[in-house]
Structure 1
């Protein structure tokens, strides 16, 4: 007990210089050095993001487009650079105000204080997508932190369950036609590409002949014409309430084939793009990188989902005699079987957050739920604080790619933080950081980070 009390005293009395800027005694120099280190990295990152978005418009950019892109790059660079540098300053100021470090004030509280303020520097139309992205990574990180404490437990294919329920909710909004009114979002453009325009709402009243074809009678199964009649009947069978013109069997089969081919093409295209340097150097391992089962996963997930969704929807229309947007719920849940081929946590969390956001917007428009002012900024602030806390004190709960990104844009500062005084917190912060640093192959060729500004 005395040993634990001694460790807690060491953690509380740890100075900010000993913790986050051992190369300089000045908090102002530490903040300025962090700012100078962040600017080049964030500028490169946002330049790639905005230039890629400009290229995806598939048209020659005008002078106005170029000016807007340049302005957006500079504004986003300023936002993220300020966020990171003021985080360092906030740690120093919070420690000075409270007199020492607590578990929640070593990273979480300073990040919470500055992140929401810094988001105001970013363009208004970028705030909600940023909050969504940070929440995506933050929820995954928070789950791992709770899991490491034994408070929660992951279930097999849990991400597939989340993805299936989320896609089902989006498909209901799509079939109900709400995506054209109160829940407009670019996500539905992707759904329309995968599912086609026929399932798009709002539902239309059937026009034209409502009589149904009858099964051919007097069949002679010794004659090949009988089998052709059965084939023609099954392939052209269509209920009047179905929104498509061709037969239901043809509609479902083609509806599964097109997303399958599109998914495979997208997977292969991305792999080729990511390995373009190896291709030009003739070092591409085609069998290992392209011609494998992994290239089929996305295509199988999209194709089977679309096939089962459309088959179930048509079956419900045939059995009930009418069409209803609520049919998207059982159809989506059954179609989710296909998503077992693509159990991706990042995509699952994105779809979950997007569906919750759109359902919330729908509830607000209907007056069912209250509108929370600046909800995106609050969500961004909370989950940014979670990420900062995890990156510094519980590194093994953080995505390795995110840890490496922070390490690079901070000029190598993250790996130089001294976390040994915080052993009293019981999460073995220094051991976790050392494990991640070794796993990522991070080496320190210099005792000081980039722009150390030593005093």
Structure 2
């Protein structure tokens, strides 16, 4: 029989609250391990294969390295999910009660700390930033739901614009890590890098890829392209043809990329439904999100280049500070494709870049294992919220938790946690587990009566 204790603590068993599908703590851990393992294998098998193809890895990588990388990441995710429920039970036996601050935070922290140590070092930083991103958005949703602050209109767009301004200022100065510099070069063009950063001077290129080659055979396109190429170009501009051509070409290229990427994601999601609804494929290809991502990327690149070219024409000189204004204005292109995930990830990556710059200059201390600490604390916080108030999680992340655990996360009896947080069962107010009454005398009526 579960007995409610004083406020902010409950004295239920881990079966009654946590693993309601089985009274056995050991079986619950084994069951979760099996489910998470299968899902992790699907997730990382697909992720590493696609990434290897996109990065044009050689045959040696696929023969010798990919299986090891997949196995290590699968072990990481399986360990994280399994140890959470294991430590959940151990912690309950250790303290006898479920307290608000520690109900799920401590078990999640211990499980996450163990898991992240098993993952490759090269991935720890990415995972830390991603989970810090999720934790920050979750905290923001929590304070909004409590009415402590009012939402900031276009807040994610403003954050992204500020981060983009600083990023592209350093980009214009050529003072970014190689990986970040390469990504921004692809997005906005290496022509905006300092001349000393370029490996070679830009040369006129009439043929970029097969699709462009086919397009250039069209007479109308050739006429328009030639007209744009002949537009004026400032003597300080590093691009090959006229400024208008420079901007338009960039927009078309990035719009097409965004459309194809988002369209590919939608298409993959529609394939399982194709046999039941053939039109799902067509809807995936013409989905408005495809156009929105294309417009976002296209406008971002085009606006940044427009600002830089325009300022060179107006001031008759070039400056790295053009990156600040160009990046800030380009950032508002996110209005086409608003995403707090992208905004927060960009901000956290920027913070990482600035932190290491501070270390290099002696302004900031180097913190060993910072990625492990950030990941463990962030994941513990997110899991804590997933237990007590999952309605405040990012919907996509909650769906991920349900998928990777085979819906086990949704089977917790959050009605019993309402003394700790009054809206704990908000996401499924009518849910009640199908208990084995040999191991509990707890019923919905007894809980409602006590509450």
Give the TM-score taking structure 2 as reference length: 0.80
CA–CA distance in 1 between the matches of 2:65 and 2:229?
55
Shift of 1:27: 3.2
- Residue 301 of structure 1 corresponds to which residue in structure 2? 296
Does residue 165 of the first structure (1) align with residue 162 of the second (2)?
A: yes
Written as runs of structure 1 = structure 2, the 5 A alignment for 1:284-433 is 284-285=279-280, 288-291=283-286, 293-433=288-428
Q: Decide whether aligned partners of structure 1 residues 265 and 429 sit closer, same or farther in structure 2, where only a CA change above 3 A counts.
A: same
Written as runs of structure 1 = structure 2, the 5 A alignment for 1:69-80 is 69-80=66-77
Q: Is the 8 A contact 1:259 1:306 kept in 2?
A: yes
- Residue 114 of structure 1 corresponds to which residue in structure 2? 111
Which of 174, 183, 190 is the aligned partner of 1:197? Answer: 190
SS in 1 for 2:239: coil
User: Which structure 1 segments of 5+ residues have no match?
Assistant: 209-231, 438-442, 449-455
Shift of 1:282: 6.8
Shift of 1:127: 0.8
Shift of 1:50: 1.6
- Residue 265 of structure 1 corresponds to which residue in structure 2? 260
SS in 1 for 2:290: helix
- Residue 226 of structure 1 corresponds to which residue in structure 2? none
Q: Decide whether aligned partners of structure 1 residues 148 and 423 sit closer, same or farther in structure 2, where only a CA change above 3 A counts.
A: same
Say which is worse superposed, 299-308 or 376-385, in terms of deviation: 299-308
CA–CA distance in 2 between the matches of 1:337 and 1:10?
44
CA–CA distance in 1 between the matches of 2:31 and 2:277?
41
CA–CA distance in 2 between the matches of 1:426 and 1:335?
42
Q: Is the 8 A contact 1:34 1:84 kept in 2?
A: yes
User: Which structure 2 segments of 5+ residues have no match?
Assistant: 202-226, 437-451
Does residue 87 of the first structure (1) align with residue 84 of the second (2)?
A: yes
Q: Decide whether aligned partners of structure 1 residues 149 and 252 sit closer, same or farther in structure 2, where only a CA change above 3 A counts.
A: same
Which of 120, 123, 126 is the aligned partner of 2:123? Answer: 126
Q: Decide whether aligned partners of structure 1 residues 343 and 233 sit closer, same or farther in structure 2, where only a CA change above 3 A counts.
A: closer
Shift of 1:334: 1.9
CA–CA distance in 1 between the matches of 2:8 and 2:22?
21
CA–CA distance in 2 between the matches of 1:156 and 1:355?
22
CA–CA distance in 1 between the matches of 2:341 and 2:304?
23
- Residue 15 of structure 1 corresponds to which residue in structure 2? 13
Q: Is the 8 A contact 2:167 2:327 kept in 1?
A: no
Shift of 1:133: 1.8
CA–CA distance in 2 between the matches of 1:365 and 1:380?
23
- Residue 146 of structure 1 corresponds to which residue in structure 2? 143
CA–CA distance in 1 between the matches of 2:26 and 2:287?
53
Which of 222, 233, 255 is the aligned partner of 1:238? Answer: 233
Q: Decide whether aligned partners of structure 1 residues 41 and 397 sit closer, same or farther in structure 2, where only a CA change above 3 A counts.
A: same
Q: Decide whether aligned partners of structure 1 residues 326 and 74 sit closer, same or farther in structure 2, where only a CA change above 3 A counts.
A: same
Shift of 1:6: 6.0
Shift of 1:41: 2.1
Q: Decide whether aligned partners of structure 1 residues 202 and 99 sit closer, same or farther in structure 2, where only a CA change above 3 A counts.
A: farther
Aligned residues: 409
Which has the higher Rg, Structure 1 or Structure 2?
1
Does residue 105 of the first structure (1) align with residue 102 of the second (2)?
A: yes
SS in 2 for 1:167: helix
Say which is worse superposed, 47-56 or 28-37, in terms of deviation: 28-37
- Residue 224 of structure 1 corresponds to which residue in structure 2? none
Q: Is the 8 A contact 1:46 1:77 kept in 2?
A: yes
Shift of 1:9: 5.7
Q: Decide whether aligned partners of structure 1 residues 112 and 317 sit closer, same or farther in structure 2, where only a CA change above 3 A counts.
A: same
Q: Decide whether aligned partners of structure 1 residues 306 and 34 sit closer, same or farther in structure 2, where only a CA change above 3 A counts.
A: closer
Q: Is the 8 A contact 1:115 1:381 kept in 2?
A: yes
Deviations 1:210-240 (A, max 9, x none): xxxxxxxxxxxxxxxxxxxxxx999643333
